[in-house]
Structure 1
Amino acid sequence: MSAYSSLSRRAFGSMLLASTAAACAPRVPEMPVPTAPQFLPEYPPLRDAGYDLPAIPIEYTQGINRRMEGVYTGEAPRGSIDVDPYAKFLYHVKMDGTATRYPVGVGRQGRTLSGLATIQLKKAWPGWTPTANMIRTEPEVYSDFRGGIPGGLRSPLGARALYIYRNGRDTFYRVHGTNDLESIGNSGSAGCIRMFNQDIIHLYNNVTTPMTINIRSEAESLRVDPEYFNRGVELPPKIISADELLGPEAVSSDREPMRDELASNF
């Protein structure tokens, strides 16, 4: 995918990997026929911080719901991040006018930040604590976790998080990883921007802070990317019991991430 100059916004949708199928030679029937890959090359199993992250099954990365490279046609400045919560994409806009586009999951309608802000911090394997507003509006989902969950495989923020600030203050919105694969390309979280763990690690390794982030309004999304406006569906909140994340069995099998063994070349 080196011919950036020939790509357009619509061309992003056609940038699919070509697949090849190998057949057995007729005179060696004992050789097994290779099976089709179960994941795309961008989403392999990954060793990170002492954890073995599984590959992203190919069923979740069909069509445009995967990482792609191309010419950026949006309105955010170069050297920034541009998020379209209606088309469910995040763009890392490069200085040369190209961009890496990632599929994302976003908050339900009315629960997503919009406009310009700043990525002020980035953290590997961050811990998570629900905000007071999350506990107040959806106590059945969040109240059991008011004490927080430490960084690691149990954390809802996944492998990495980028922290969004506005006017020097934490907005409590994040760009972060997730194990909820179904949410990518859809809406349903409390408002944060979710990515496949492989994608948030890739983005984390390629951004520096501080960095401008733009979250498109409905009007901007319709103006810039009407083709994919409102793609995906709205999912109900996924309720996980406290025992699953905070119970003795879960805690006993947990361990701190080895932060000096991060996947830096992914």
Structure 2
Amino acid sequence: MLNRRHFVALGGMGLLAACTTAPEPEVSMAVPAVPPPPVPDFYAAVTDEPYPIPAIERGTLDPRLWRQEVDNPWPDKAYGTIIIDPDAALLYFSEKDGRATRYGVAVGATGFSWSGTARLQFRRKWPRWNVPAETIARKPELEPYSVANGGMDPGPENPMGSRALYLFENGVDTLYRIHGGADALHLGKAVSSGCIRMLDQDVIHLYEVAVHGCDVIVLPSLTGPQTNALY
């Protein structure tokens, strides 16, 4: 016969059994985020220029836009030809043997883009920014940097950056440039008043290999509206 003592003992065993057989709560195993790949060494800080050029931070630049050697999509073009695909935000410098150096760029916003074939007329290190009248009409606050006022001094605040390549068409300045000063987060986007913007590390590299008088071909854009121009 079971008395009160037996019930107490059996009840304790039941509690013990319940504690040992209950399923353990599920533990959420979060998958660790994959860190972005480190940027190539040539995007390190540049310290031997008149003005400092900071390193490109890890995770700020899509690897698709890294400077790299690729097969030239236009292998028939002469050595030194520069071809810009605005929709892909890529600039190609034609090398020999069907190869090209490819750079990521920022391109002209809708209403400011230009396409056609120009000539690389000359190059400048740490150029002044002479703001065109059309830009001042849109942004009067830039009037102190007009041509009449001598432009903006070179330096980190100058949106032209460390180098500029000047494009002429039929002997006339197009007012479009290939220049530095781009933010890594703006590469691949349409943000300028028609100019082709590059990272300072990349435009220095292009400046060194560019061929005076070469063709610069800007392909027509086939996309719809883009972002507004930063300047």
1:141 to partner: Cα distance: 5.9
Partner of 2:71: 71
Matched pairs, number: 193
Alignment of 1:87-166 (within 5 A): 87-136=88-137, 138-140=138-140, 142-146=142-146, 147=149, 148-166=151-169
The farther-off stretch of 200-209 and 45-54 is 45-54
Q: Using the alignment, how far apart are the partners of 2:73 and 2:210 within structure 1? A: 20
Q: Using the alignment, how far apart are the partners of 1:110 and 1:117 within structure 2? A: 19
Partner of 1:55: 55
Q: Using the alignment, how far apart are the partners of 1:90 and 1:36 within structure 2? A: 24
Q: Counterpart of 1:111 in structure 2: which amino acid?
A: F
Q: Using the alignment, how far apart are the partners of 1:212 and 1:49 within structure 2? A: 28
1:154 to partner: Cα distance: 2.4
Bigger Rg over Cα: 2
Q: Counterpart of 2:199 in structure 1: which amino acid?
A: F
1:182 to partner: Cα distance: 2.2
Partner secondary structure for residue 58 of structure 1 = coil
Q: Retained in 1: the 8 A contact 2:93–2:102?
A: yes
Q: Retained in 2: the 8 A contact 1:82–1:92?
A: yes
1:89 to partner: Cα distance: 0.4
- CA deviation vs aligned residue, 1:56-87 (integer Å, no higher than 9, x gap): 11223223021111110137722200001111
Partner of 2:178: 175
The farther-off stretch of 143-152 and 153-162 is 143-152
Q: Counterpart of 1:162 in structure 2: which amino acid?
A: L
1:132 to partner: Cα distance: 1.0
Alignment of 1:181-192 (within 5 A): 181-192=184-195
Q: Retained in 2: the 8 A contact 1:141–1:237?
A: no
Distance 1:90 1:126, change over 3 A: same
Q: Using the alignment, how far apart are the partners of 2:194 and 2:36 within structure 1? A: 36
Q: Retained in 1: the 8 A contact 2:36–2:58?
A: no
What RMSD over aligned residues (CA atoms) do the two structures have, in Å? 2.4
The farther-off stretch of 88-97 and 52-61 is 52-61
The farther-off stretch of 111-120 and 56-65 is 56-65
Q: Using the alignment, how far apart are the partners of 1:62 and 1:205 within structure 2? A: 24
Percent of aligned positions with the same letter in both sequences?
A: 33
Q: Retained in 2: the 8 A contact 1:90–1:103?
A: yes
Unaligned runs of 5+ in 2: 1-34
TM-score, structure 2 length as denominator? 0.75
Q: Using the alignment, how far apart are the partners of 2:228 and 2:76 within structure 1? A: 31
Q: Using the alignment, how far apart are the partners of 1:142 and 1:113 within structure 2? A: 22
Partner of 1:40: 40
Q: Using the alignment, how far apart are the partners of 1:206 and 1:62 within structure 2? A: 24
Would you say 1:198 and 2:197 are equivalent positions?
no
Q: Counterpart of 2:195 in structure 1: which amino acid?
A: C
Runs of 4+ in structure 1 displaced over 4 angstroms?
35-38
Partner secondary structure for residue 47 of structure 2 = strand
- CA deviation vs aligned residue, 1:132-186 (integer Å, no higher than 9, x gap): 11122x1256335323102222221100000000011111100000143322110
